[in-house]
Structure 1
Amino acid sequence: MGLGTDDGVGRNRINVADGFGYFSINLPHQGQVTVNRSLDFERTQRYLVTIVASDRARNVSERFSTTTTLTVNVRDDDDQNPSFIYQGCMLHEGSCINPEYSTSVSSGKLAGILNIYPEKIQAVDMDSINAPIKYSFLSGTPSSYKDYFEIDEQTGAVRQKRAVDTSITKKFEIIVKAEEVSEQKRSATAKLFITVKPVDSNPPVINASATEGFADENAPVGTKVVDKNGNPIRLAVTDEDLVRMHI
């Protein structure tokens, strides 16, 4: 039975419950309070237990009793994995589900620290222990991803350390790991997508099958312009930044 709440907001909220059934005194003469049921800090952080003491007068109606309240605070254990956090992610019990990040780099250029969307990469310990988090790349495709990118172990910032060309790949998919710096070393993962965008750095080149063409007077609309040998003139436009295009 819930009795009350609130010494804080969000993860710092304290839920208080009636301790009946959760604790017992198996040896009344010793007065030792013991745990009777499994406790979950994430659900209830504090229990109020009513203790009744009575004498043993032969006549039950003549017995005297007194009560007191024992406050039992549940200490948090490291039983929750960390969670990546950003606004708008799908939540389940306060944790982001299947977190994904994205960014882009320009082909052939070195960007340095990357701007990550929807927010910078960040994870938190979901226990009140608040263990520090360290970040690393767990895996990725193509397998050469570590030649081009690295992640700061403490801040989660991603840095491009080498320029990449679209001829190598157009997209990297990297698994980011967030691990608690604790004895349990609990961890969580997220996906990071890095798109390699082509750069328009070369002018187009026009190649024509002939530079002089002929068309008859009163030729119907759609008649092809031909060279001196009567062959239709054909133009080809090439751009090193793009695929080959014909007109």
Structure 2
Amino acid sequence: MVLRLIFSEQPLWKILIFCQLYSAVSRHSVIASNCDDGHDVFAKVKENSLMGTFIANLSFNAQPSSSNHLHLKLSGKDADWFYLEGRTIRLNSTSTRIIDREIHGSVLTASVRCYEHKALQAEHRILVEVLNENDNKPEFLQRSVQPLQLSELTAVNSVVFTVQATDADGDTLTYVIDETSPDARYFRVDLPNSGKVVLNKPLDYEIKTQLRLTLYAVETNTNEHYNTTATIIINVIDGDDQYPQFQPCTLLSANHSNRICANPLYTANITENEQDIVLDFFPGPIQAVDGDEGLRTPVKYTILSGADNGRFVIDSNSGEVRLTRRVENRLLIPTLRLRVMAAQTDDPLKYAVATVLVRVLAENRFPPQFSRSTYHGFVSERANPASLVMTYGNKLLILEATDQDFTEGFNPRQQYSLNSQHNSSQLFYITQEGLLIAKTSLLHPGHKYFLEVLHKTKTLHDLKKYYFSLSTSIFYIQFNVLITFSLYLFVHFL
């Protein structure tokens, strides 16, 4: 009745099309396909899952078999990650080929095709989400943990460098300083998630030129709290924060963090009427160095006071001081005092000042002389371990030298000694009064000993030396007076 009403009002061609469509639908409804009822697959699997892990079941009407001519086939980009076990999809992995979200991606895609009598009847998509597992430790970016250089003048509380680490699993990381690392006290991390390292205390190149800092990158949102470490080397660069220091430097404090030098007092001796000479100073030549060991900026020398109208001039580069005009009367001018400044060439405001004391001594015109060049002495065997050496007439052997530069030839600062190059010197001792003492217990009767006695005449600082040989030739050397002579000793029994 309904069809009669519809067809009575439609053109013939529409009626024919409707009948054809109705016939096709009716035929498929009657003959059902084994590939029917299939649908797309949406599943999940954990990364690192084992071979054969269940993925999903396909919802086709029948199991694939040769009897029903049903055949299923996997295809698509990631099809090799799966295999079919009947209508079940399982994971296809091995011990050497494991699904890794960070490598293979978060979604695997494939498709399953259903064939009947070798004819494709249906195709459905397979979408498998790979679930993340915490299977990766953090790793520092190498560019952020390379050795670096910091000036010792870097301000405290400033960010000096930033470290950065990544976690393939996307976990949240925090950065922590290893407090047991040698130089942890120099740094701190104020914002643990930022990786920004802050200078915590001043650097000092003169105390420490290299620092080592160990940091951790730690997972904070996982149960495992995986972490990694990196050690960063910080090379401290010298900054211009020290003043010149005259040498030798005498530290006022043993605390190297407060290195302050006491400038030495330089002393030198000149004699009356000497001129055009270079002064020889004690404890060493005038020399100043930049306190910044890593910079060692050159210094210039200047006489601030005491030059005495050009009597003294100083080499601005070497610090050498020259006497250009003589002192005629030491009684009127017994000492001269100079103040020498050493200033950095690049910053004259960085300077140091030292005091120089020059003593004027009387001219040494005469060398000391012994009354004779050869002495003979005798030692008698005694029970005592030591005894005085005698000479002819059973008199004490007394060695005396005179110096005509002193009243009545007596120099109160004279000294006697034995030349240690002679083995016999170990068997005797000489007093400063010229008495010779023998170690009797070590001497051999009838043996002859040869000694060489040195006489040294000293002024305030060993002004001059003179040498006498057996032939009484004179050798002149500055700053001390030295006499040698031969002494023959005989040991006999009384």
Distance 1:199 1:63 in 2: 87
C-alpha displacement of 1:27: 3.5
Which residue is 2:267 aligned to? Answer: 102
**For 2:196, what is the secondary structure of its paired residue?**
coil
Distance 1:90 1:45 in 2: 22
Which residue is 1:150 aligned to? Answer: 313
Name which one, 1 or 2, has greater alpha-carbon Rg: 2
1:1-247 residue pairs with structure 2 within 5 A? 18-57=182-221, 59=222, 61-86=223-248, 90-92=250-252, 97-128=262-293, 129-140=295-306, 145-166=308-329, 169-183=333-347, 185-199=349-363
- Does structure 1 retain, via aligned residues, the 8 Å contact 2:267–2:282? yes
TM-score, with length taken from structure 1: 0.62
**For 2:336, what is the secondary structure of its paired residue?**
strand
**For 1:188, what is the secondary structure of its paired residue?**
strand
State the structure with bigger RCO (CA 8 A, min sep 6), 1 or 2: 1
Distance 2:310 2:332 in 1: 12
Runs (5+) with no aligned partner, structure 2: 1-180, 366-494
**Which amino acid counterpart does residue 124 of structure 1 have in structure 2?**
V
- Per-residue CA deviations over 1:175-209 (Å, capped at 9, x if unaligned) read 111222233742222221112234489xxxxxxxx
Distance 1:111 1:37 in 2: 54
**Which amino acid counterpart does residue 40 of structure 1 have in structure 2?**
D
Structure 1 runs (4+) greater than 6 angstroms displaced: none
C-alpha displacement of 1:149: 0.4
Distance 2:364 2:226 in 1: 92
**For 2:217, what is the secondary structure of its paired residue?**
strand
The verdict on how the C-alpha distance between 1:200 and 1:34 changes in structure 2, with shifts beyond 3 A counting, is closer
C-alpha displacement of 1:102: 1.5
The verdict on how the C-alpha distance between 1:90 and 1:47 changes in structure 2, with shifts beyond 3 A counting, is closer
- Does structure 2 retain, via aligned residues, the 8 Å contact 1:78–1:184? no
TM-score, with length taken from structure 2: 0.33
Runs (5+) with no aligned partner, structure 1: 1-16, 202-247
- Does structure 2 retain, via aligned residues, the 8 Å contact 1:165–1:196? no
Structure with greater proportional helix content: 2
Distance 2:336 2:363 in 1: 17
The verdict on how the C-alpha distance between 1:96 and 1:111 changes in structure 2, with shifts beyond 3 A counting, is farther
- Per-residue CA deviations over 1:43-72 (Å, capped at 9, x if unaligned) read 222221111112342x4x323211111112
- Does structure 2 retain, via aligned residues, the 8 Å contact 1:148–1:164? no
**For 1:21, what is the secondary structure of its paired residue?**
helix
